[in-house]
Amino acid sequence: MSAHFLTILRPTRANFPASATDEERAIVARHFEYLQNPPRGLTVLMAGRTDEASPMGLVVFVADSLEHAEAFALGDPAVRDGVFQAEVHPYLLALCGQDYPSEA
């Protein structure tokens, strides 16, 4: 049975993303591709980040188990390559709007 999960992503160093190196920007691009094309059995419902004053990202997704959710978070290129730290939590989704446009 599938369940919802929340991953909280935080940069591993201060002043990120303002001070991101070219290598870190490339890793973050791979991170975004990973979220757009999640591994089989996972569905990303929402992903985004806060502003640079208090940087963190959130990913809400569906997975088969906590173990599968943790493997997804740890497989993220930005986590695997040390740009972000990840916390995974079971998430009780109470409300989700449909056809809500994302901001560019």
| pLDDT at 86 exceeding the cut of 90 | yes
State phi, psi for 27 to the nearest 5 degrees.
-65, -45
30-70 pLDDT tens trace: 999 999 999 998 999 999 999 877 889 999 999 999 999 99
Q: What residue segments make up the domains of the chain, in order of their start? A: 3-90
Q: Which fold has domain 3-90?
A: Alpha-Beta Plaits (3.30.70)
pLDDT recorded at residue 9:
97
Q: Give the residue, 96 or 13, on which the prediction is more confident.
A: 13
Strands 3-11 and 57-63: antiparallel
Q: Rounded to two decimals, what is the model's pTM?
A: 0.88
Output the six-digit token pair for 41. Answer: 């059995």
